[in-house]
Structure 1
Amino acid sequence: MSGESEDLSRLRDEIDQVGKSAAKRVDPGAGALLIAVAVFALLVAELLPWAGEARGWHILLGQIPDGVRVGALPRLFAFAAVVAGVLLSALGLLLRQWVVVWFCALGCFAGSVIGVLSIWMQQTTTSHAPGPGPGPGLIVAVLAMLVLLVRWLKLAASRPGL
Structure 2
Amino acid sequence: MTDSERPSEPAGEDDQLRAEINEVGRRASRTVELGGRALVIAVAVFVLLVGLVLPWMNGSSGLEVLIGHETGKASMVPRLFSLTSALFGVVTSALALITRRWVLAWAGAAGGWFASVDGLLAIWSRQSSGNTPGIGLIIAVVAMVAISIQWFRTAASRT
Instruction: Letter of the 1:31 partner, please give it.
Output: R
1:58 aligns with 2:64: yes
CA distance in 2, matches of 1:64, 1:101: 32
CA distance in 1, matches of 2:14, 2:43: 46
Task: Please state how far the C-alpha of 1:69 moved relative to its aligned partner.
Answer: 7.4
- TM-score normalised by the chain length of structure 1: 0.88
Stretch deviating more after TM superposition (142-151 or 4-13)? 4-13
Match of 1:121 in 2: 125
- Show CA shifts across 1:74-93 (max 9, x none): 01001011101000000110
Match of 1:138 in 2: 137
Q: Which runs of 5+ in 1 are unaligned?
A: none
Instruction: Letter of the 1:61 partner, please give it.
Output: I
- TM-score normalised by the chain length of structure 2: 0.90
1:6 aligns with 2:39: no
Task: Please state how far the C-alpha of 1:6 moved relative to its aligned partner.
Answer: 2.5
CA distance in 1, matches of 2:49, 2:13: 53
Partner of residue 86 from structure 1, selected from 84, 87, 90 = 90
Task: Please state how far the C-alpha of 1:4 moved relative to its aligned partner.
Answer: 3.1
Question: Could you tell me the percent identity over the aligned residues?
Answer: 42
Moved over 4 A (4+): none
Given that 1:84 and 1:108 are in contact with CA atoms closer than 8 Å, whether structure 2 keeps it comes out as: yes
Instruction: Letter of the 2:23 partner, please give it.
Output: Q
Match of 1:97 in 2: 101
Alignment of 1:28-39 (within 5 A): 28-39=34-45
CA distance in 2, matches of 1:6, 1:79: 53
Call closer, same or farther: CA 1:64–1:71 in 2, change over 3 Å.
closer
The alignment partner of 2:140 has SS state of helix
Task: Please state how far the C-alpha of 1:64 moved relative to its aligned partner.
Answer: 2.3
Match of 2:3 in 1: none
Match of 2:80 in 1: 76
Given that 1:51 and 1:70 are in contact with CA atoms closer than 8 Å, whether structure 2 keeps it comes out as: no
1:108 aligns with 2:112: yes
CA distance in 2, matches of 1:70, 1:90: 30
Given that 1:46 and 1:55 are in contact with CA atoms closer than 8 Å, whether structure 2 keeps it comes out as: yes
CA distance in 2, matches of 1:90, 1:40: 11
CA distance in 1, matches of 2:113, 2:33: 21
**RMSD across aligned positions (CA):** 1.7
Match of 2:147 in 1: 148
